[in-house]
Amino acid sequence: MDDLKKLVKEKYGQIALGSKIQLAGDDCCTSPGCCSGVDYTIFSESYEKLEGYNPDADMGLGCGIPTEFAKIKEGNTVLDLGSGAGNDCFVARALTGERGRVIGLDMTESMIEKARENAARLGYENVEFLLGDIENIPIGDNTADVIISNCVLNLVPDKEKAFAEIRRVLKPGAHLSVSDVVLQGRLPEKLKQAAELYAGCVSGAVRLEEYLQIMEESGLINIKLQKVKQVIMPDEIFLQYIDKKELEEFKKTETGILSITVYAEKPV
């Protein structure tokens, strides 16, 4: 687990030091994050029309727009898990307003530094960014009115511990809205073992049913899928890990990669 977390931290640290990632292609190496051949932007959606959107904070790393369904109200305390350069935090701030508070948590030092620079440039005094681990959130019990996260929890090795921490820091009756990547069926073993794909949000994903079960077993209630979208991965990405015959066999299965946004509440 530690090796995988180290890989994720290293990869996203490289991304933070480069420009916004472009789609994979012949000129892929214009930024550090995509030279591995994994297209980290393949799941992302456009934020450009959202209030609070800041292009400098958008690294193209999400797989949904969790704030779209998060029911954030003015004055709320919002916690963003895996906040990156601050993209979702700044959109959340537009919803919670001056009286609210937004906390971003990320385990990558260079992402935290970039996010803090963005917040300072924008003059946001009620947005803060903390360095820390989702499996051990450095925030007190019953703090957040809303928790959001965007394509990050699938990267956490111990998802049971992550959701237990989420439940702990939510206020009683508070809720989460997270976008993430899950599987329909099971990935071939070679793809599961591909560390690069783990850092690119695929191999670390679990089956949808397992994901929802982990949430339920953590004590969260009223779990609802808000959005489900199938993600089509280019053949050339898979062919870095399996051969053409294995790819054809894989395509015959019912395995799929889904982008979901899911809602849940902490009991009162």
Average pLDDT over residues 71-94: 96
Reported confidence tier of residue 62, pLDDT bands at 50, 70, 90: confident
Residue range 186-207, pLDDT digits in tens: 777 776 655 455 445 555 678 8
- The residue written with tokens 């003015």 in the block is 74
Best CA proximity match to 177, nearest among 59, 68, 48: 68
Give the pLDDT score at 41. Answer: 52
Q: What is the pTM of this model?
A: 0.80
Residue 50 predicted with pLDDT over 60: yes
Give dist(CA 96, CA 133) in Å, integer: 24
Give the pLDDT score at 108. Answer: 86
Q: Number of folded domains in the chain? A: 1
The domain in which residue 256 lies consists of 2-265
Residue 88 predicted with pLDDT over 80: yes
Q: Which amino acid is at 257?
A: I
Q: Which amino acid is at 79?
A: L
Q: Which of 103-107, 111-115, 214-218, 247-251 has the lowest mean pLDDT?
A: 247-251
Q: Can you spell out the DSSP letters for the chain?
A: -HHHHHHHHHHHHHHHHS-PPPPSSTTGGGSGGGTTS--TTTT----TTSTT--GGG--S--SS-GGGGS---TT-EEEEET-TTSHHHHHHHHHH-TTSEEEEEES-HHHHHHHHHHHHHHT-SSEEEEE-BTTB-SS-TT-EEEEEEES-GGG-S-HHHHHHHHHHHEEEEEEEEEEEEEEES---HHHHT-HHHHHTTSTT--BHHHHHHHHHHTT-EEEEEEEEEEE---HHHHTTTS-HHHHHHHHHSS-EEEEEEEEEE---
Which CATH number goes with the domain that contains 223?
A: 3.40.50.150
Q: Which of 27-41, 144-158, 165-179, 251-265 has the highest mean pLDDT?
A: 165-179
Q: Are strands 256-265 and 127-131 parallel, antiparallel or unpaired?
A: unpaired
Give the pLDDT score at 187. Answer: 72
| Backbone Cα Rg of the chain | 18
